[in-house]
């Protein structure tokens, strides 16, 4: 396995651009692709702003910022990622979308390229089986926001070989982050624990036990959480929370993972949290206001 230097990232949303930033800062050459030209432009602009704030805080020098930005390239053509040593798929949490990306990308990849998915819940073994390289396929799950969060979950499918795993352990170390290895079970470790807590918080709201503000304040002050569960759900995206709960419910067959009807209703309404300006809070004003 040759050393990793060129990294392709599919998806220029919040996760993809965060992943691009940390790789560029660690000295990797990054090529970021998306179907939206505007998303790519915003990803580059946001990365530059983020690095500018790090310069202001004396965490980076101006020269290091400029060097990192030079290492970030963009393209609308996913096939241009073909010469990457490592590809990270960071598209929306829908299996059909991920499979379509792999189908378009695979004919152009080198035989030794490692292919990974940033999926937060989907079966790595099943995704790997849709590719031509299950032994060089892994789950590579970064936490949001990527530049801030220390953890990266590494998930091996049933066919993932030891060389691929060890290579990604080395990549995580070079990024200055910490790897946690998870078996290939629905939602892995973090979301297996986190999402049922968020879902239970939504049930607590749904059943009238407490208001949005009371629930979030209780967990922040009573359990020392930095964000309340409903505030966190808005930050993650209620559609993503619902998708992960559905994976848990379908994959494990336990009623304790049944998504709360109120969570379903908010997603049906398009109230997905911060990214749409409304979820459990209304973000149209300077100070978020609870919607219930």
Pairing assessment for the beta strands 281-282 and 178-182 based on DSSP bridges: unpaired
Region 70-76: what's the mean pLDDT?
Answer: 97
- Are 139 and 37 within one domain? yes
Q: Of 135, 150, 183, at which residue does a domain stop?
A: 183
Q: Could you tell me if residue 276 is inside a domain?
A: yes
Of the candidates 50, 84, 153, 231, the residue annotated as catalytic is 153
Active site residue 191: yes
- Are 95 and 133 within one domain? yes
**C-beta neighbour count of 189 within 10 angstroms:** 16
Of the candidates 89, 117, 141, 199, the residue annotated as catalytic is 141
Active site residue 225: no
- Are 101 and 68 within one domain? yes
Which structural domain range is residue 208 located in?
191-290
Of the candidates 118, 123, 182, 191, the residue annotated as catalytic is 191
- Are 175 and 208 within one domain? no
- Are 167 and 220 within one domain? no
Work out the angle at residue 1's Cα, subtended by the Cα atoms of residues 173 and 76, and round it to the nearest 5 degrees: 80
- Are 58 and 171 within one domain? yes
Q: Could you tell me if residue 1 is inside a domain?
A: no
Report pLDDT for 7. 98
Which tens digits make up the pLDDT trace of 229-266? 999 999 999 999 999 999 999 999 999 999 999 999 99
14 is in an annotated binding site: yes
256 is in an annotated binding site: no
- Are 170 and 233 within one domain? no
Q: Which residues contact 198 (CB under 8 A, 6 or more apart)?
A: 229, 230, 232, 233, 236, 241
- Are 67 and 133 within one domain? yes
Q: Could you tell me if residue 105 is inside a domain?
A: yes
Helices 62-70, 14-25: inter-axial angle, 10-degree rounding: 120
**86: pLDDT confidence band, cut at 50, 70 and 90?**
very high
Contact status, residue 141 vs residue 118, Cβ threshold 8 Å? yes
Q: Which residues contact 73 (CB under 8 A, 6 or more apart)?
A: 29, 30, 31, 32
Region 77-99: what's the mean pLDDT?
Answer: 95
**Phi, psi dihedral angles at 10 (to 5 degrees):** -100, 115
Active site residue 42: no
Contact status, residue 74 vs residue 35, Cβ threshold 8 Å? no
Q: Distance between CA 247 and CA 128 in Å, rounded?
A: 17
Active site residue 153: yes
- Are 173 and 202 within one domain? no
- Are 47 and 163 within one domain? yes
Question: What percentage of the chain has pLDDT greater than the value 70?
Answer: 99
Helices 190-206, 261-268: inter-axial angle, 10-degree rounding: 90
Q: Of 183, 203, 228, at which residue does a domain stop?
A: 183
Q: Of 147, 162, 183, at which residue does a domain stop?
A: 183
Which tens digits make up the pLDDT trace of 158-195? 999 999 999 999 999 999 999 999 999 999 999 999 99
Across the strands, what pairs with 141? 153
How many domains does the chain contain in total? Answer: 2
Q: What is the CATH number of the domain that holds 65?
A: 3.40.50.720
Q: Could you tell me if residue 92 is inside a domain?
A: yes
Chain centroid offset of residue 292 CA: 28
- Are 268 and 123 within one domain? no
The reported pTM is 0.91
pLDDT at 1 over 70: no
Q: What is the CATH number of the domain that holds 248?
A: 1.10.1040.10
- Are 172 and 198 within one domain? no
Q: Could you tell me if residue 45 is inside a domain?
A: yes
């Amino acid at each position: 396995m040759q050393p990793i230097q060129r990294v392709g990232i599919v998806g220029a949303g919040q996760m993809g651009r965060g992943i691009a930033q940390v790789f560029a800062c660690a000295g990797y050459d990054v090529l970021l692709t998306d179907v939206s030209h505007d998303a790519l432009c915003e990803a580059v602009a946001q990365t530059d702003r983020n690095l500018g704030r790090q310069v202001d805080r004396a965490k980076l020098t101006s020269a290091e910022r400029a060097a990192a930005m030079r290492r970030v390239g963009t393209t609308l053509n996913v096939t241009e990622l073909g010469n990457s040593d490592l590809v990270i798929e960071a598209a929306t949490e829908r299996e059909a979308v991920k499979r379509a990306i792999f189908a378009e990308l695979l004919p152009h990849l080198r035989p030794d390229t490692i292919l990974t998915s940033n999926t937060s819940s989907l079966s790595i073994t099943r995704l790997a089986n849709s590719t031509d390289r299950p032994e060089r396929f892994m789950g590579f799950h970064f936490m949001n926001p990527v530049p801030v969060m220390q953890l990266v979950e590494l998930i091996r499918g049933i066919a993932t070989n030891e060389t691929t795993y060890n290579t990604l352990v080395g990549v995580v170390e070079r990024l200055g982050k910490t790897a946690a290895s998870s078996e290939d079970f629905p939602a892995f470790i973090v979301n297996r624990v986190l999402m049922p807590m968020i879902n239970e918080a939504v049930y607590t709201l749904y059943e009238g036990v407490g208001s949005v503000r009371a629930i979030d304040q209780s967990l922040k002050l009573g359990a020392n959480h930095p964000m309340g569960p409903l505030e966190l759900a808005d930050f993650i995206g209620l559609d993503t929370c619902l998708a992960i709960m559905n994976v848990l419910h379908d994959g494990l067959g336990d009623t304790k993972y049944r998504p709360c009807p109120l969570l379903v209703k908010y997603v049906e309404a398009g109230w997905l949290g911060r990214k749409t300006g409304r979820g459990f809070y209304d973000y149209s004003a300077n100070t978020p206001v609870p919607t219930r």
